[in-house]
């Protein structure tokens, strides 16, 4: 959410992984828009199956050891992640994509870190840092000026083609 001078020495591989994740999320919204006529459960089943096989394959390639969780906290975290955290979120995003443009839907992803930071402070007593709060304010301001402000809406309206019914006859 906020990068200070101490954070500029970043390892390349994790930075590339974050970049690929962001591109993948953006592409998933675009693809979700294209298949939005299908039922969200069907789209979710296909996407999650492909994703699961991809992750299992990658896990096998790097030699990770597979084991079922045994600690109750880990089991409940996994249950949440599989149900609400992935399937539930995926279905909700598909429902939003049906009603909004892909570009407008992408602004929801910008707000995830802000919500995560607030929930972390509330549920896990994680400290709110000045860097995090400044980053959250910058994100919220960027969303406002980039998408929600009256000026941004007018700019979007100007760039959209008008329907034949809106064109006045001479």
Q: What integer pLDDT is reported at residue 23 of this predicted model? A: 85
Nearest-angstrom CA–CA distance, 80 and 88: 10
What pLDDT does 5 receive?
60
Q: For position 72, what pLDDT does the model report? A: 93
Q: Are 117 and 132 in contact (CB under 8 A)?
A: yes
Q: What is the pLDDT of residue 161?
A: 45
Q: Tell me the H-state helices in the chain.
A: 12-34, 40-61, 72-80, 89-99, 102-123, 130-143, 150-159
Closest CA to 102 of 46, 25, 43, 161: 25
Give the pLDDT confidence score for residue 76 in this predicted structure. 94
Q: Using CB atoms within 10 A of its CB, is residue 94 exposed (0-12), middle (13-18) or buried (19+)?
A: buried
pLDDT in the model for residue 107? 74
**What pLDDT score was predicted for residue 137?**
87
Contacts with 161 (C-beta within 8 Å, 6 or more apart), sequence order: none
| CA-to-CA dists, residue 2 to 6, 43, 89, 129, 133, angstroms | 11, 34, 25, 10, 9
Asked if 21 contacts 109 with a C-beta cutoff of 8 angstroms, the reply is: no
Q: Using one digit for the tens of pLDDT, what is the confidence trace for 1-12?
A: 455 566 667 788
- Give the model's pLDDT for residue 38: 78
Instruction: Report d(CA 139, CA 133) in Å as an integer.
Output: 10
Q: What is the pTM of this model?
A: 0.53
pLDDT, tens only, 57-67: 999 999 999 99
Mark the ranges of the chain whose per-residue pLDDT is less than 50.
1, 160-170
């Amino acid at each position: 959410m906020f990068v200070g001078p101490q954070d500029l020495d970043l390892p390349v591989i994790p930075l590339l992984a974050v970049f690929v994740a962001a591109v993948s999320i953006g592409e998933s919204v675009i693809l979700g828009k294209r298949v939005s006529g299908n039922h969200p459960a069907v789209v979710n089943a296909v996407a999650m199956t492909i994703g699961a096989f991809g992750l299992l394959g990658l896990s096998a390639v790097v030699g990770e050891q597979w084991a079922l969780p045994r600690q109750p906290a880990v089991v409940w975290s996994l249950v949440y992640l599989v149900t609400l955290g992935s399937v539930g979120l995926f279905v909700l995003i598909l429902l939003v994509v049906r009603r909004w443009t892909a570009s407008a839907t992408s602004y929801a992803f910008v707000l995830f870190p802000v919500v995560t930071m607030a929930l972390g402070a509330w549920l896990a007593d994680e400290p709110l840092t000045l860097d995090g709060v400044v980053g959250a304010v910058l994100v919220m301001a960027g969303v406002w000026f980039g998408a929600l402000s009256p000026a941004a809406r007018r700019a979007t309206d100007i760039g959209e083609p008008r329907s034949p019914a809106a064109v006045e006859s001479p």
